[in-house]
Amino acid sequence: MVERRYFAVGPHKISEIKHEAVPLEKISRSMVFAAMAGEDQKFLDHNGIDFEAIEKAMKHNESHKKKFGASTISQQTAKNVFLWETRSYVRKALEVPFTMAIELIWGKRRIMEVYLNVVELGPGVFGVEAASQYWFHVPASKLSSHQAALLAACLPNPRKFNPRNPSSFVDGHADWIEEQIGFMNQAETADRLDLPKR
């Protein structure tokens, strides 16, 4: 947020930050499931780094123009909270110890809570609560499963995509995310993250 507000240049600079942190209990379960389905389906099973995803991304990127990333939710959280946005080998190298540290000290529940409170979901719109209010005029606790999927579908490029007026790509990606949630053991996921009962 600080980098985007005070140090970015050109189209990356923002004049206003929209952000409101809320505890995980005040975020719809659907948003937790959508984030995992869209960004990191092995979130509860890896130690912060998904080596299999990294290997697949490297193989793909060798022969494709469109590059795939392999950052886990834990890595994204470490980057968003402690590091800077610009891609560099130094930042990627620092990302690993920070990721390992939050996995050890915070645990999965806190990582998910922080991630959903700092992730950018629109130009200058940070965190699910601010995004829910900005795009859908509801608190994060009231997000529907489809609204949550639309927000998660914008994460590849949240400054470009609009969940309220989605492109065909965002619409299709949101449908895929909802399909993936259907394959998820939601009861076990909720239990492991100590999500409140419905």
Residue 172 belongs to a domain: yes
Residue 33 belongs to a domain: yes
Residue 114: give its domain's CATH number: 1.10.3810.10
Name, in order, each residue with C-beta under 8 angstroms of 35's C-beta and a sequence gap of 6 or more: 73, 112, 115, 116, 119, 152, 155
Q: Tell me, what's the pLDDT at 13?
A: 63
Q: Which residues pair with 19 in a beta bridge?
A: 126
Query: How many distinct structural domains can be found in the chain?
Result: 1
Residue 198 belongs to a domain: no
The pLDDT tens digits along the chain (198 residues) read 766 666 665 666 676 889 999 999 999 999 999 999 999 999 999 999 987 766 675 565 566 566 555 689 999 999 999 988 777 788 888 999 999 999 999 999 999 999 999 999 998 999 999 999 999 999 999 999 999 999 999 998 898 999 999 999 999 999 999 999 999 999 999 999 999 876
CA separation for the pair 198, 153 (Å, rounded): 24
The first and second tokens of residue 133, run together, are: 């209010």
Q: Tell me, what's the pLDDT at 127?
A: 97
Q: Tell me, what's the pLDDT at 88?
A: 78
Residue 43 belongs to a domain: yes
119 within 8 A of 76, measured Cβ to Cβ: yes
Name, in order, each residue with C-beta under 8 angstroms of 70's C-beta and a sequence gap of 6 or more: 50, 53, 54, 56, 57, 58
Which structural domain range is residue 48 located in? 2-192
Residue 42 belongs to a domain: yes
- Helices 73-82 and 108-118 cross at an angle (nearest 10°) of 60
48 within 8 A of 102, measured Cβ to Cβ: yes
Q: Tell me, what's the pLDDT at 113?
A: 98
Q: Tell me, what's the pLDDT at 61?
A: 57
